[in-house]
Amino acid sequence: MPTPTRLIGRVAAVTGGASGIGKASALRFLAEGASVVVGDLNPKSGESFLEEAVAAGFVRSRIRFERVNVAVEDDVASMVAAAVESFGSLDVMFNNAGIGGAFGPITEVPVDDWDETFHVLVRGVFLGVKHAARQMAQQGGGSIINTASVAGITGGGGPPAYSAAKAAVINFTKSVSIELAGQRIRVNAICPGAILTPLIQQGRKGVDLSESLNRYQPWPEGGRPEDIAATAAFLACDDSRFVTGEAITVDGGLMASGPLGSGISSTSPSGWVGMNRGTTGQGPTVHRRGS
């Protein structure tokens, strides 16, 4: 089936757009006809993204890469300005960048690691909403999408810092959607289940995780970044015109399966404490408990 072209003439920005869910979404937005600004902390992944997009046949002039740290207000403001400067507007903002964050026993989590987790996952979303909404209000509307997680709904979906941050994203999405609805700015969140991306594979090179991830959910095949991208494309376009303040779970039935499906946090190796900085190009800090 051909890809629909629901975003022709629209401009989208995707944070964390150089890898995993963000990359698949940026490619899907391009396929649907949008011009896309990809913002990411990792310039190497950004270069690979550009090569991949051009190899897939997308016109280079419809794509812009910006090195962005979503936790830094000037970076996020510049990303929004780059979209307007290059393509004339900002119609879709996908606040998706993320890291695994602080893990290990709560009694040993350093305050700085807790804060860094919240800076990326929560402050980053707040800044994306703030600056996108300013631009969209001037244009007469737009769609903002935030990546949360099933970890923000259930306690067992991730380490405490990550779960708390994702819960904050869900409630922030709902709360701010009320304020922005009057300006025709829709704000929604996506709560992915287990999706096979480089983030999940971090530190497990050569290990095939697909089988163990599939075990968590009723649906027989594992979650792919493209499954989240398809939901993001729906939320980005006018098909979701009346959808706002919603957190859509995309998890192959994981949440529906209740207690049986609540074991993802076991992906944190026991006996280790540290900070997973995802695929930012900045290494993790990991040490044995008590050392």
Q: Does 154 bind ligand NAD (CB under 6 A)?
A: no
Cβ proximity to ligand NAD: between 69 and 188 the closer is 69
State the nearest-atom distance from the C-beta of 110 to ligand NAD, in Å. Answer: 18
State the nearest-atom distance from the C-beta of 51 to ligand NAD, in Å. Answer: 15
Binding segment (CB under 6 A) for ligand NAD, from list 57-65, 94-102, 181-189, 234-242: 94-102
Binding segment (CB under 6 A) for ligand NAD, from list 10-18, 57-65, 177-185, 233-241: 10-18
* Integer Cα distance of 192 and 148 in angstroms: 7
Contact 226, 192 (CB under 8 A): no
Q: Count CB neighbours of 268 within 10 A.
A: 18
Binding ligand NAD (rule: CB under 6 A), the pick from 7, 13, 14, 16 is 16
Q: Taking Cα atoms as reference points, which of 43, 44, 46 lies closest to residue 17?
A: 46
**Phi, psi dihedral angles at 14 (to 5 degrees):** -130, 120
Q: Does 198 bind ligand NAD (CB under 6 A)?
A: yes
Q: Does 167 bind ligand NAD (CB under 6 A)?
A: no
User: Exposure of 234 by Cβ count < 10 A (0-12 exposed, 13-18 middle, 19+ buried)?
Assistant: middle
Name residues contacting ligand NAD, limited to 31-50 (CB under 6 A).
40-42, 45
Q: Does 70 bind ligand NAD (CB under 6 A)?
A: yes
Binding ligand NAD (rule: CB under 6 A), the pick from 7, 99, 229, 248 is 99
Q: Does 98 bind ligand NAD (CB under 6 A)?
A: yes
Q: Does 68 bind ligand NAD (CB under 6 A)?
A: yes
- The sign of the CA dihedral 102, 214, 174, 38 is positive
The answer for residues whose C-beta is within 8 angstroms of residue 53's C-beta and 6 or more apart is 26, 27, 30, 60, 63
Write out the catalytic residue numbers.
Answer: 162
DSSP element (H, E) containing 185? strand 185-192
Contact residues toward ligand NAD (CB under 6 A) are 15-16, 18-22, 40-42, 45, 68-71, 96-99, 120, 124, 147, 149, 192, 194-195, 197-200, 278-280
